[in-house]
Amino acid sequence: MSREIIAVLGAGSWGTALANVAAENGHIVRLWSHRAEQVDEINETHRNTKYLGEHPINEGVIAVADMKQVVADADLVLSVVPTKATREVARQLVTILKETNHKVVVMAATKGIEPVTYKRISEMLAEEIPCKYLGGLGIIAGPSHAEGVIKHDPTLITAVSSDLAVAKYVQNVLSNQIFRVYTNTDVVGSEIGAALKNVIAIGAGALESLGYDANAKAALFTRGLAEISRLGQAFGANPITFMGLAGVGDLFATATSVYSRNYRAGVQLGQGKQLSDVVADMGMVIEGISTTKVAHELAQKKHVEMPITSAMYRVIYDNEDVKNVMQLLMGRPVSQEGK
């Protein structure tokens, strides 16, 4: 693999961990942060303490506050800001690409769906970035907590693009002995799996707060995945995708790990903490909060039965008690699997 120039946009937990992987693979890596003090911290101490504590970051990761310096000669751009910042950051990227007049491959690592428009991340990017500046577009997904990746836990992710050559390029750039990248061409399924597992992870945290064990969690994962798959298929996703890294893989990782912001938010909501306090105390993005509303609305729009998502909507947005919504779920008419 040649030495690529990689621009990582967003210096939170996941942007920093991905930049670290790319630098460890020998690429030239520039990490864009919109906060000058964070740039100094990363370059001077090789730490990003707000997001990754004392974990050292590879010295090849150069943090930069000026996006133009980061993007000007890049081959690959990894967009790793939260869903709500994706369009704004993409517009800044386009301004630079117009000036430098060059093409980049853009891969989003964000897991969410835009409220109101219901656009997936790659759809937002395709709307914002003119084709003439795109050497390829896709996403990366899969079970990959930044905290695990930075400490070299073996991790498998998937690079997804409708253009398999683009997915293979990203696979080659990011793969190494402990960070193994698969490819997939099902963008719709992968993005829906990646976004909606967060809703179920909040539910898993809420179950934990009630003291329930493996039976209840397995029930939640299985039926949660069934409804994610139903929604995905309503948008044309390949059902096999939900059996893969962007589906069951990421659901398992997120809904069982204390690293997960969504799971931890679920625990706190289940304990009766106010949503605004949960969000404020986390200090990092909890994508599943917004995705729960989006998924609940999409289910209604597409006439897809998503009882767990709707229950989570009532917990998060109507302040309903977790135990009550769980009893209502358990009291639904008995049904047949596989429908």
Ligand X SMILES: NC(=O)C1=CN([C@@H]2O[C@H](COP(=O)(O)OP(=O)(O)OC[C@H]3O[C@@H](n4cnc5c(N)ncnc54)[C@H](OP(=O)(O)O)[C@@H]3O)[C@@H](O)[C@H]2O)C=CC1
Binding site for ligand X (CB under 6 A): 10-15, 34-35, 51, 80-83, 85, 88-89, 109-112, 144-146, 284-285, 287
Report which secondary-structure segment, H or E, holds 28.
strand 28-32
> Is 15 labelled as part of a ligand binding site?
yes
C-alpha to C-alpha distances, 232 to 38, 87, 178, 254, nearest whole angstrom = 38, 23, 30, 19
The first and second tokens of residue 256, run together, are 């069982």
The first and second tokens of residue 161, run together, are 């693009």
**Residue 11 contacts which entry, ligand X, ligand 13P, none (Cβ below 5-8 A, type-dependent):** ligand X
Task: Kindly tell me which of 166 and 201 has the beta carbon lying closer to ligand 13P.
Answer: 201
Q: How far is the CB of 56 from ligand 13P (least distance, A)?
A: 21
Instruction: With H, G, I as helix, E, B as strand and everything else as coil, classify residue 29.
Output: strand
**Residue 250 contacts which entry, ligand 13P, ligand X, none (Cβ below 5-8 A, type-dependent):** ligand 13P
DSSP conformation letters of 114-170 = -TTT--BHHHHHHHHS-GGGEEEEEEEESS--HHHHHTT--EEEEEE-SSHHHHHHH
> Is 142 labelled as part of a ligand binding site?
yes
Concerning whether 132 is annotated as a catalytic residue, the answer is no
Residues at the contact surface with ligand 13P, assessed by CB under 6 A? 111, 143-145, 198, 201, 250, 253-254, 260-262, 287
C-alpha to C-alpha distances, 235 to 65, 188, 292, nearest whole angstrom = 38, 7, 17
Task: Kindly tell me which of 88 and 277 has the beta carbon lying closer to ligand X.
Answer: 88
The first and second tokens of residue 107, run together, are 């891969």
Task: Kindly tell me which of 31 and 326 has the beta carbon lying closer to ligand X.
Answer: 31
> Is 283 labelled as part of a ligand binding site?
no
Catalytic residue among 98, 103, 197, 323: 197
Residue numbers in the known binding site are: 10-15, 34-35, 51, 111, 142, 144, 146, 197, 250, 260-262, 285, 287
Q: Which residues are known catalytic residues? A: 197
